[in-house]
Amino acid sequence: MSNEITRRHLLGVSAATIAGAPGILSAQNVSGKVNVGWIGAGTRGMHVMKMMYQAVPESVVVSGVCDTFEGNLAKGKDQIQTMGKNTPKTYVDYKEMLADKSIDAVFIATPEHLHHEMTIAALRAGKNIYVEKPLAHTIEEGQEIVREAKKAGKVVQVGTQNRSNSLYKKAKEMVAQGMIGEVHYVRAFWYRNSLEDNPAWRYAIPPDATEKNTDWKKFLGSAKNRPFDKQRYYQWRLYWDYSGGISTDLLVHQTDITNFVCGKAEPLSCMASGGIYRWAGASDDREVPDTLSAIYEYPDKFHINYSCYFGNEQYGYGEQFMGNEGTIEVLNRQTLRFYTEKFRGKAPDKVKARQEFTEDKPGNDLPAVQAHTANFINAVLGKEKVIAPVEVGQQAAVSGHLATLSLRNNKKVLWDSKTQKYRFV
């Protein structure tokens, strides 16, 4: 049964059985608000929670928060008290929180390697889920999540919030209207830099963090067992056991939004190359590259040329949708520019007639995250469909994993979307 049919089915059932309660909230819930459990109150979790409260304060109650670092658990609880005006239950073990039948939905904002076990467990516990990107740490884990989500018939939103960004929605409409003609080529890039004393992704380790107030075993999950290591816990993005690095942290946003704007799904192939160039200091034990290029071929003559480097931020980040009759670029998620092709002064009248423009929306990622969380909550309430369902989250994740596979094996990788398998050539 599709999500939509399930939702309608449940709407019918609940309307008859739970007077006054909307759609698909748990039978225990008579408030009409979505009862939320929060897993992961780190940098992203705290931000997304804040955006959710700002977007739909009247529709949510966060009744539980879970984190394996005491300091972040306390911060999460504090933010809920301040913004939600209630005191949530606190948990170190997310499974205990999932056992609370009154919780309708969970947000998962933990490191990448934990998304799989948490999402599967939450689906089996009957929860609706907002899970941060990337959907999972491997292609196979993501496939299992997609299967389980179909079985569960729950709402799943993946945290690729660019889909809820008004500028990308506009770009999508413009492409559909033919404003840039046929599109075969997209250039996407993400460039960053920082000073020597602030290496990329070496985020500050809380000074009070110790083995006593950090549950290292629960952080590891199914990852390889190792002795407690603060860098691995607080800077997990730099290690393959927990992260795909640039491919799954940044690139997935950009392949995802290319899929959205241009109506694409999965590539046919990926060839990636890169390494650790900028942050290669002898004392830095990072494993993931700071320099990555990836070339994708898609069905129907479509190409993405991706580039990322952490040693120069001159060009920021963005995507350039390069049509035969014009270009749309979205830069830093906040500026959309539209250019027409000039054909050396011989542009056809229909192309000449199109007005070039720039639209600037500073800080447009904030309303995008608000809209993305609101869309999820409204979907749980049966009022909307999610804009980043689990299948498209997996499509984006696949492109990221293919880049990692290509890079780490130094080979081109082919993807068969029918069998959902890859092979190297």
Ligand X SMILES: NC(=O)c1ccc[n+]([C@@H]2O[C@H](COP(=O)([O-])OP(=O)(O)OC[C@H]3O[C@@H](n4cnc5c(N)ncnc54)[C@H](O)[C@@H]3O)[C@@H](O)[C@H]2O)c1
Q: Can you give the binding site for ligand X, defined by CB under 6 A?
A: 39-45, 66-69, 72, 94, 109-112, 114, 132-133, 159, 161, 218-219, 249
Rounded CA separation 14/35 (Å) = 16
Which of 298, 258, 294, 292 lies closest to 278 in space, CA to CA? 292
Nearest approach, Cβ of residue 31 and ligand X (Å): 26
23 or 244: CB nearest ligand X: 244
97 or 174: CB nearest ligand X: 97
188, 306 contact by CB (below 8 A): yes
161 or 370: CB nearest ligand X: 161
Which of 162, 179, 29, 181 lies closest to 105 in space, CA to CA? 29
Which of 284, 328, 58, 365 lies closest to 175 in space, CA to CA? 328
CB contact set of 201 (below 8 Å; sequence gap of 6+): 235, 237, 238, 286
Nearest approach, Cβ of residue 207 and ligand X (Å): 15
Nearest approach, Cβ of residue 392 and ligand X (Å): 14
Rounded CA separation 114/98 (Å) = 15
228 or 339: CB nearest ligand X: 228
How far out from the chain centre does Cα 42 lie?
15
CB contact set of 277 (below 8 Å; sequence gap of 6+): 289, 290, 291, 309, 311
Tokens of 13: 């059932």
244, 112 contact by CB (below 8 A): yes
Tokens of 40: 């992961």
237 or 354: CB nearest ligand X: 237
Nearest approach, Cβ of residue 94 and ligand X (Å): 5
- Residue 381's φ and ψ, nearest 5 degrees, are -80, 0
Rounded CA separation 292/206 (Å) = 29
Nearest approach, Cβ of residue 85 and ligand X (Å): 23
337, 331 contact by CB (below 8 A): yes
351 or 386: CB nearest ligand X: 386
119 or 161: CB nearest ligand X: 161
Rounded CA separation 151/174 (Å) = 36
- Region at 16 (left for phi over 0; alpha for psi -120 to 50; beta for the rest): alpha
Nearest approach, Cβ of residue 246 and ligand X (Å): 11
Nearest approach, Cβ of residue 101 and ligand X (Å): 20
Nearest approach, Cβ of residue 233 and ligand X (Å): 7
Nearest approach, Cβ of residue 39 and ligand X (Å): 5
Nearest approach, Cβ of residue 381 and ligand X (Å): 22
111 or 274: CB nearest ligand X: 111
Tokens of 33: 């608000």
CB contact set of 171 (below 8 Å; sequence gap of 6+): 261, 321, 328, 330, 336
- Residue 273's φ and ψ, nearest 5 degrees, are -155, 150
80 or 174: CB nearest ligand X: 80
165 or 291: CB nearest ligand X: 165
Q: Which residue is nearest to ligand X (CB)?
A: 42
Nearest approach, Cβ of residue 157 and ligand X (Å): 11
111 or 289: CB nearest ligand X: 111
Torsion of CA 144, 149, 155, 157, to 10 degrees: 10
90, 65 contact by CB (below 8 A): yes
